[in-house]
Amino acid sequence: MIERTQLGKMILGHWQENRPQMVRDLERENRLEEAVDEVQERTGDLFYELISVQRMDYQAAWEIAMREWAFLPGETRRPQSSPKKSRPRRRRFRRGTSG
């Protein structure tokens, strides 16, 4: 068994909140610890690859690694057709230059 890191704790917490059926299935099959350990290791490896080898920005690498392995989408799909309401952008006016 691999030592559970903060990343592993985040993965398990995310799964418990967003993938409870998957967690129950893995527990029933006595594979939850193994699955978390595997995903923790793969996520860490990908993160290292993106940061150290590909020289990617930390935040971008973190988001890719989390999306790729750790934070699986929720079990129930929410409708994606309704975009979030956002504030309209403020328009910036440039001062004209006369030459």
Higher pLDDT, 34 or 70: 34
- Per-chain mean pLDDT for the chain: 78
Q: What pLDDT sits at residue 93?
A: 37
State the pLDDT at residue 32.
Answer: 95
Output the six-digit token pair for 34: 């193994």
Per-residue CA distances from 63 to 52, 58, 66, 79, 85 (Å): 15, 9, 5, 22, 23
Range of lowest pLDDT (2-11, 15-24, 34-43, 80-89): 80-89
**pTM beyond cutoff 0.95:** no
Please name which of 69, 75, 64, 65 lies closest in space to residue 16, comparing C-alpha atoms: 75
Which pLDDT belongs to residue 86? 39
Q: What pLDDT score was predicted for residue 68? A: 78
Report the alpha-carbon distance of residue 56 to residue 73 in Å, rounded: 24
